[in-house]
Every structure is written in C-alpha cells, then in structure tokens.
Amino acid sequence: MYWRLVERRGKAIAKVAMARKLLTRLYWMLRRRSEGQTLRQRSRVAASPWLDMPQLGDRR
C-alpha cells in the first residue's frame, strides 16, 4: 500500500497517510481493549461466587 501511494502521491504524502492509518488503527485497538476490560471487570464482580460467602472469622 505504501509503495502504491508513493507512486501516486509522492513520498512525503505517503508517509503521512501511513502514519495516520497506523495511529487510527492503534487508537481503535486500545479503545476496544479498554472497553472490554471494564466490561469484564463489571461482570466478574457482579457474577463473583465469593460475594455471598462469609469471611474467615465472620459469624453470620
């Protein structure tokens, strides 16, 4: 893809275009990963089997 852009638009434009494409993909990867982690943390806490269990020394 880079070399096709170099042929059509020139080296400077191709560099900026590739950097933009890379940063956009990186941004979305990190954003999706952070959203997934927060969702997993919420579901893990809500579905934790240990929440209703008494602690050691706790007399219910």
User: How large is the average pLDDT for residues 44-60?
Assistant: 57
**Spatial CA neighbour of 37 closest among 25, 26, 29:** 29
Band of the pLDDT at 45, cuts 50, 70, 90? low
**Spatial CA neighbour of 9 closest among 20, 58, 35:** 20
State how far the Cα of 8 lies from the Cα of 6, in Å rounded to an integer: 6
- Amino acid identity of residue 34, one-letter, is S
User: How large is the average pLDDT for residues 34-39?
Assistant: 66
pLDDT of residue 48: 56
Q: What is the DSSP letter of 35?
A: H
